């Protein structure tokens, strides 16, 4: 009796597993209605219908459009909708998936009018992951590079102007990062390191909004490091280009000090020259 009960339990378990397997298979087969499988438009509309409320199911329909009707107009729309659905989720993992889908779209449909949009969206996947100044700016640099591709490759597209605005923003962020690091070095009196960070900002990011501060801290880093000749042009440029800046008064004081230092050095040099002349006359 004991063995009989054991075998009944095994049979019951196997029956349950078989029923569950059959049920799952039936659900998978019935996921895509027969009438829809024959139509790219019907499949796409199902995907479009489900993509927001049940993303996985929506993507299943859209993938079926791409697999079954790869040259269809709806296949292109399905590919974009999948990419956009990943992008709209916004987290890092889904942004990576979105970038991959947009890149694949460009590869599969290079003549599509949606290509500029895809390139812009690739840039946006990096832009959304940008960190604050002082932290790793890899995503900022990558976004900048991808936005430049929009302007270079698709200059007449609607997205070129938007990309130009984002390029300016990325450059401001990169400049701010360099400035913050340079300012930190300045505050801890690491003047050579401060110069290393600040000196490239005027040439690389000429539109930076805090250029008056850059000129002052760059000039003063040279000044504090006793490189007076290097500091002079930056103090002068600050005063001439940004007369309303809060740094102007300090720059003017530094220029007065530079003038006094120069005069003192000339006096010392003159004194030494006079001593040399006197000695030569004695000889």
Range from 41-45, 184-188, 248-252 carrying the lowest mean pLDDT = 41-45
Tell me the whole-structure pTM to 2 decimals.
0.78
Specify if 104 maps to a domain: yes
DSSP annotation of 83 reads H
Is the pLDDT reported for residue 36 higher than 80? Answer: no
Q: Based on the structure, what is the number of domains in the chain?
A: 1
Is the pLDDT reported for residue 83 higher than 60? Answer: yes
Q: How far apart are CA 80 and CA 216, in angstroms?
A: 49
3-class DSSP assignment, residue 133: coil
Q: How far apart are CA 118 and CA 126, in angstroms?
A: 13
Rounded to 5 degrees, what are φ and ψ at 181? -65, -45
Report the percentage of the chain scoring pLDDT > 90.
71
Retrieve residue 184's tokens: 């930190």
Quick one: pLDDT at residue 52? 85
Specify if 130 maps to a domain: no
Q: How far apart are CA 198 and CA 187, in angstroms?
A: 13
Please list, in sequence order, all residues whose beta carbon lies within 8 angstroms of the beta carbon of residue 150, skipping any fewer than 6 positions away.
116, 119, 120, 123, 157, 159, 160, 163
Q: How far apart are CA 208 and CA 173, in angstroms?
A: 9
Quick one: pLDDT at residue 22? 39
Q: How far apart are CA 107 and CA 134, in angstroms?
A: 36
Specify if 171 maps to a domain: no
Retrieve residue 120's tokens: 């812009």
* Residue 90's CATH number: 1.25.40
Is the pLDDT reported for residue 275 higher than 80? Answer: no
pLDDT in tens, 88-127: 999 999 999 999 999 999 999 999 999 999 999 999 999 9
Retrieve residue 59's tokens: 């993507």
Specify if 191 maps to a domain: no
pLDDT band for position 18 (cuts 50, 70, 90) = very low
Specify if 120 maps to a domain: no
- The pLDDT mean for the chain works out to 85
End-to-end, the C-alpha distance of the chain in Å comes to 134
Specify if 156 maps to a domain: no
Question: Rounded to a whole number, what is the largest CA-CA distance in the chain?
Answer: 135
Domain that holds residue 73: 36-109
pLDDT in tens, 119-157: 999 999 999 999 998 899 999 999 999 999 999 999 999
pLDDT in tens, 158-199: 999 999 999 999 999 999 999 999 999 999 999 999 999 999
Note the helical H segments in 39-91.
Answer: 40-50, 55-68, 73-89
Note the helical H segments in the chain.
Answer: 2-31, 34-37, 40-50, 55-68, 73-89, 92-108, 115-127, 138-153, 158-187, 191-198, 201-204, 211-224, 228-241, 248-282
Specify if 58 maps to a domain: yes
Quick one: pLDDT at residue 235? 97
pLDDT band for position 37 (cuts 50, 70, 90) = low
Range from 9-23, 66-80, 131-145, 193-207 carrying the lowest mean pLDDT = 9-23
Specify if 176 maps to a domain: no
């Amino acid at each position: 009796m004991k063995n009989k009960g054991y075998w009944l339990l095994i049979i019951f378990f196997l029956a349950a597993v078989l029923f569950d397997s059959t049920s799952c298979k039936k659900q998978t087969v019935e996921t895509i209605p027969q009438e829809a499988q024959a139509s790219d438009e019907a499949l796409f509309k199902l995907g479009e219908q489900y993509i927001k409320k049940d993303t996985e199911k929506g993507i299943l329909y859209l993938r079926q459009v791409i697999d079954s009707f790869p040259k269809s107009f709806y296949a292109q729309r399905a590919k974009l909708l999948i990419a956009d659905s990943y992008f709209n989720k916004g987290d890092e993992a889904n942004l990576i998936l979105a970038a991959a889908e947009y890149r694949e779209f460009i590869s599969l449909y290079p003549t599509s009018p949606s290509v500029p949009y895809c390139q812009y969206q690739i840039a946006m996947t990096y832009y959304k992951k940008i960190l604050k100044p002082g932290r790793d700016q890899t995503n900022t640099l990558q976004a900048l590079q991808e936005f430049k591709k929009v302007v270079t490759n698709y200059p007449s597209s609607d997205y070129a102007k938007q990309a130009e605005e984002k390029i300016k923003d990325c450059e401001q962020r990169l400049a701010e990062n360099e400035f913050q690091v340079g300012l930190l070095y300045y505050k801890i009196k690491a003047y050579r390191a401060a110069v290393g960070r600040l000196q490239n900002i005027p040439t690389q990011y000429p539109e930076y909004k805090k250029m008056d501060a850059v000129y002052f801290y760059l000039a003063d880093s040279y000044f504090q490091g006793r490189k007076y000749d290097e500091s002079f042009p930056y103090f002068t440029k600050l005063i001439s280009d940004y007369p309303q800046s809060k740094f102007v008064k300090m720059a003017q004081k530094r220029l007065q000090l530079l003038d006094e230092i120069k005069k003192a050095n000339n006096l010392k040099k003159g004194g030494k020259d006079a001593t040399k002349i006197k000695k030569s006359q004695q000889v």
